[in-house]
Amino acid sequence: MALIVRIDVDRPYGKQGWARHVASRVSSDYYLPRMEWLRYLSELKTILGILNANGRSAYVFFRKCSYPSAEVRELMAAGKHQFGLHLENSRSEEMFREELEALERELGFRVTAFSKHGSGRRRWGRYHFAPYEPERYLPWARQAGLKFFFGNQEDPRLGPVEGGGLVYFPSAFWLEPQWRDTTKFPINWLLREAAERDVVMLLHADNVTSNPEILREFRMVVERLESVILPVAAEAAAGMTAVG
């Protein structure tokens, strides 16, 4: 029983510092060439480094504006992390397929998991379709051969639901306290629960590295709890390669 680490990569340049903040915003809406000099995905690299040092593996979900660089891919391989889609334009099944296939083309292999950008409260940029409608994504995802969907509800007591070859985790323990009832679900709750069953812990790398208290809690959690990468059923895996 362990931690399922979920990282949503929202901002390619984080949000600290004017130039990086602006670059994050602009690249979310328009094509911008990757700027290593603005420390592309630097916060994600820090988080992957900590996970790798502790032998923990994560699911990492990428948007079009935050596709992994060669350096990030190396860290991902070293830590046996899983790549997934951070779904942005969920307006229709066609849009969903387009985003999934674009990521798979970029990576050169199929992915098994996805998560959704935003919880329906706000629109985050030009391509973002704000409504959060998990029940619509499930049939699309099954049709596309995906195996895991990580949802955005904020009650970490909700366990996974399985159906049609897809496992749906409706909720997560949000590491950043602004999306968590910290009275009901303090860090100690996570330490206790993840020792008993698999619990999804969601984080955004730049929110963690920019806050010393959250970073301290993140380090403590990954030192103390094992992580798990969920197995894909054998027949499902065979089906996937056939499609590929």
Question: Contact between 88 and Zn ion (CB under 5 A)?
Answer: no
Identity of residue 59 = Y
Q: Which is nearer to Zn ion, 193 or 206 (CB)?
A: 206
Q: Which is nearer to Zn ion, 65 or 138 (CB)?
A: 65
**Tokens standing for 211?**
């806050």
Q: Which one of the spans 101-109, 117-125, 169-177, 222-230 is the region binding Zn ion (CB under 5 A)?
A: 117-125
Question: Contact between 8 and Zn ion (CB under 5 A)?
Answer: yes
Distance, CA of 54 to CA of 181 (rounded, Å): 28
Question: Contact between 6 and Zn ion (CB under 5 A)?
Answer: no
For the CB of residue 8, give the shortest distance to Zn ion in the complex, in Å.
4
Cα 19 to the chain's mean position, in Å?
25
For the CB of residue 83, give the shortest distance to Zn ion in the complex, in Å.
15
Cα 224 to the chain's mean position, in Å?
21
Q: Which one of the spans 40-48, 114-122, 125-133, 194-202 is the region binding Zn ion (CB under 5 A)?
A: 114-122
Q: Which is nearer to Zn ion, 79 or 118 (CB)?
A: 118
Count of residues that bind Zn ion according to CB under 5 A: 3
3-state secondary structure 5-29: EEEEECCCCCCCCHHHHHHHHHHHH
In this structure, the strands spanning 166-171 and 161-163 are antiparallel
33-36 long-range contacts (CB < 8 A, ≥24 apart) are 34/69, 36/69
The single residue among 11, 56, 117, 147 that binds Zn ion, judged by CB under 5 A, is 117
For the CB of residue 242, give the shortest distance to Zn ion in the complex, in Å.
31
Distance, CA of 62 to CA of 9 (rounded, Å): 5
Question: Contact between 10 and Zn ion (CB under 5 A)?
Answer: yes
Q: Which is nearer to Zn ion, 10 or 99 (CB)?
A: 10
Of 78, 16, 80, whose CA–CA distance to 42 is shortest?
A: 16
Distance of CA 192 to CAs 1, 74, 196, 230, Å? 11, 33, 7, 20
Q: Which one of the spans 5-13, 50-58, 168-176, 226-234 is the region binding Zn ion (CB under 5 A)?
A: 5-13
Q: Which one of the spans 1-9, 24-32, 68-76, 188-196 is the region binding Zn ion (CB under 5 A)?
A: 1-9
Q: Which is nearer to Zn ion, 64 or 117 (CB)?
A: 117
Please say whether the beta carbons of 64 and 99 come within 8 A.
yes
Of 104, 116, 3, 119, whose CA–CA distance to 51 is shortest?
A: 3
Q: Which is nearer to Zn ion, 6 or 117 (CB)?
A: 117
Q: How many C-beta neighbours within 10 Å does residue 38 have? A: 18
Q: Which one of the spans 35-43, 98-106, 110-118, 216-224 is the region binding Zn ion (CB under 5 A)?
A: 110-118
Residues lying near Zn ion in the complex (CB under 5 A): 8, 10, 117
